[in-house]
Amino acid sequence: MRILLVSPTFPDTFWSFRHALRLVRKRAVIPPLGLITVAALLPEHWQVRLVDMNTRRLRSSDLAWADIVFIGAMTVQRSAARALIERCRAQGKRIVCGGPLFTCEPEAFTDVDHLVLGEAEQTLPAFLADLAAGRPRPVYRAEGKPDVRETPPPRWDLLDMHRYAMMAVQFSRGCPFDCDFCNVTALFGRRPRTKTVPQMIAELDALYTAGWRGSIFFVDDNFIGNRKAAGELLDALALWRRGKPRMPMSTEASINLADDAELTRRMVAAGFDAVFIGIETPEPTALAECGKRQNLRRDMQADVRKLHAAGIQVQAGFIVGFDSDTDTSIQRQVEFIQRTGICTAMLGLLQAPPGTKLFQRLSVEGRLLGPSTGDNVDGTTNIQTRIPMDLLKDGYRRAMRYLYAPRPYYQRLKAFLRDYRPAQRPSRLSLRRTLASLVSLGRVSLHLGLLHRGRVLYWKLLAGTLIKRPRQLELALRLWASGHHFRRIAQRIP
């Protein structure tokens, strides 16, 4: 059996980093971890190929080779997935679809041959058994949650690694919190399920053996959802990193990480230097409204600075459009972001994904306008907001363009570098990586220091960092390149 795994293209979004990746000649941020994990669940004697359409085009010869096409996609890939399905149907291919998009919206894809919904460890074996017996069903749904300790390591060998900015691994699934706008608990549950420490180290060993020496992103929705298990892994990671080149790690976590100085220290010792946190809003009323209890009754500005000082860069998500928001809420969001020095601040309009408490409530209230796009910063929402829509969208557009205009972004980046205290361990770079870094510096300087708006501020940043914080130069320039991408995204908001 010949299986072709295909990941549809992502649109140009906040997290695509498309405009920044071009400066360093990468095609995508991370690979399709779900698909290469599915590949590891397939029979060993099957022939398997992967096409990530974010790194190369899908050729007619790819489809001609395949007996079955497996498509995995997220909500934001809906349009690209639909086009891919039509192309496969035109070629007469059997199509199997899975992943968050199809799990959340199965009714929109009744024209595919097979929907394998939920977590693949739970549903794929049943499909494979029925396929072997010659009687596969149209739809397979998961009952319960699989034990991720049984999940095989991803098929790294299917990737063209040099096309990616970082690799992706997963330690846990699920989150103990229950924010009403988030579908993580609907998909993965509130009880975090974790892999074993030896299992994760074996995955990282395989990744290292495959030749990867760059950044690693733990895709967990809340890495510290199970603190005891996370702490055990962190201690093992600190040992694993010894004697290896610097391989920065990042992940997602809740704001209460700032409450645990010891856990934060262990994260830094394990190699983590960035964490995405859902701050959402500094407004207590809105936090209570959406069930974001872990963010209440705390000084989040102080929490952010505490993490920066510990050596962890905070990247954060923010939302406007809550029922309790007023015409001044967006401005208070902007002021909070500027004060905290959060460079990567994803400010988006509230959306209601299927399966969430918010979706259910607004459905009953008759306030749903259609499906969510999955794109947090496209300037749209699928709900009828309490605040007038024109006022909300106009304020949002102006806020994003201000946040990523060169001068406010430069001020925020300076504030971050002032507070940030990176780990003291010196980087060990090979000659090859040193040369690659110099080439990237030259390319970034050409584009952002000569050809783009904000070039004067770029040279000020470069000179100031070289003089005051030379060890932070690579980080500063990477953030400036990211800011260039965010600015392009902000400019296209309607």
Interval 307-336: pLDDT, tens = 999 999 999 999 999 999 999 999 999 999
Q: Are 29 and 12 in contact (CB under 8 A)?
A: no
Q: Which of 98, 99, 100 is nearest to 114 (CA)?
A: 98
Q: Which two tokens stand for residue 306?
A: 């505490």
pLDDT digits (tens, 9 = 90+) for 237-264: 999 999 998 899 999 999 999 999 999 9
The pLDDT of 157-171, averaged and rounded, is 97
Cα–Cα dist 235/266, whole Å: 7
The pLDDT of 71-84, averaged and rounded, is 98
More confident of the two residues 58 and 428: 58
pLDDT digits (tens, 9 = 90+) for 467-478: 999 889 889 989
Which of the four pLDDT bands, split at 50, 70 and 90, describes residue 431?
very low
Q: What pLDDT, on a 0 to 100 scale, did the predictor assign at position 449?
A: 84
Q: What pLDDT, on a 0 to 100 scale, did the predictor assign at position 246?
A: 87
Does pLDDT of 429 surpass 50? no
Cα–Cα dist 466/460, whole Å: 10
Q: What pLDDT, on a 0 to 100 scale, did the predictor assign at position 453?
A: 81
Q: Which two tokens stand for residue 284?
A: 């207590």
Q: Are 281 and 329 in contact (CB under 8 A)?
A: yes
Q: What pLDDT, on a 0 to 100 scale, did the predictor assign at position 123?
A: 97
The pLDDT of 12-29, averaged and rounded, is 94
Give the single-character DSSP code of 444. Answer: H
Q: Which of 120, 200, 214, 126 is nearest to 162 (CA)?
A: 214
Q: What pLDDT, on a 0 to 100 scale, did the predictor assign at position 438?
A: 57
More confident of the two residues 61 and 432: 61
pLDDT digits (tens, 9 = 90+) for 334-358: 999 999 999 999 999 999 999 999 9
Does pLDDT of 404 surpass 90? yes
Q: What pLDDT, on a 0 to 100 scale, did the predictor assign at position 175?
A: 96
Which residues lie closer than 8 Å to 58 by C-beta, 6 or more apart?
6, 51, 84, 87
Domains of the chain in sequence order: 2-140 (3.40.50.280), 165-419 (3.80.30.20)
Question: Which residues sit opposite 115 in a β-bridge?
Answer: 97, 139
The pLDDT of 185-203, averaged and rounded, is 96
Lowest mean pLDDT among 8-12, 241-245, 393-397: 241-245
User: What is the average pLDDT score of the chain?
Assistant: 94
More confident of the two residues 285 and 142: 285
Q: What pLDDT, on a 0 to 100 scale, did the predictor assign at position 432?
A: 52
Q: Is 256 exposed, middle or buried (0-12, 13-18, 19+ CB in 10 A)?
A: middle
Cα–Cα dist 149/161, whole Å: 26
Does pLDDT of 451 surpass 90? no
Q: Which two tokens stand for residue 317?
A: 């998500």
How far are the Cα atoms of 307, 417, 423, 460, 470 from residue 465, in angstroms, in the given order? 21, 9, 17, 8, 6
